[in-house]
Homo-oligomer: A and B are copies of this chain.
């Protein structure tokens, strides 16, 4: 982990950037916390250890990591951009519309069929986004329970 942080920092140096406390704090916290973090959430976490860090620096740092290829932006239609590490390989998402929990999956048959469809349309595919929205098991069973209220 410390290794990863140093690798990122040296790549920042190599690309003409400089080290900084705030930025290190943001990067370390990002790799420490879970997936699909929003800037607001990440800022709150960073502020616990480094109260002086503002959200603007978090915005800038995430864009920097994006340029360096360490993160991906994801958007589940909430009006905010979320970030996930690019260390793990490509995957798609199951998004619960009730509790918001996100489950990752990969299905090579679907990936294969996507390539096939693209080529059938003379289209050169580069990336794709497959999000399935619905209810996770917990939320689905809760919705089945007949009226308990009032």
Cα distance, A104 to B71, chains bound together (Å): 29
Complex partner residue of A132 from B94, B118, B134, CB under 8 angstroms: B118
CB A142 to nearest CB in B, in angstroms, measures 12
A129 touches which of B118, B124, B131, B135 (Cβ 8 Å) = B131
Q: Is A21 an interface residue (CB 8 A)?
A: no
**Residue A14 at the B interface, CB < 8 A?**
no
> Which chain B residue has the least Cβ–Cβ distance from A103?
B121
Stretch of A38-46, A62-70, A107-115 on the interface side: A107-115
Would you call A77 an interface residue if the criterion is a C-beta within 8 Å of the partner chain's C-beta atoms?
A: yes
Task: Tell me the residues in window 97-138 of chain A with beta carbons closer than 8 Å to chain B beta carbons.
Answer: 97, 103, 105, 107, 109-110, 113-114, 117-118, 121-137
Q: A75-B75, A77-B75, A110-B110 are in contact. Are A97 and B117 (CB under 8 A)?
A: no
Cβ-defined partner of A124 (8 Å) among B75, B77, B135: B135
Tell me the residues in window 5-44 of chain A with beta carbons closer than 8 Å to chain B beta carbons: none
Q: Type the 1/0 row for A82-108, where 1 means its CB is closer than 8 Å to any CB of B.
A: 000000000000101100000101010
Residue of B nearest to A73 (CB): B77
Q: How far is the CB of A108 from chain B (nearest CB, A)?
A: 10
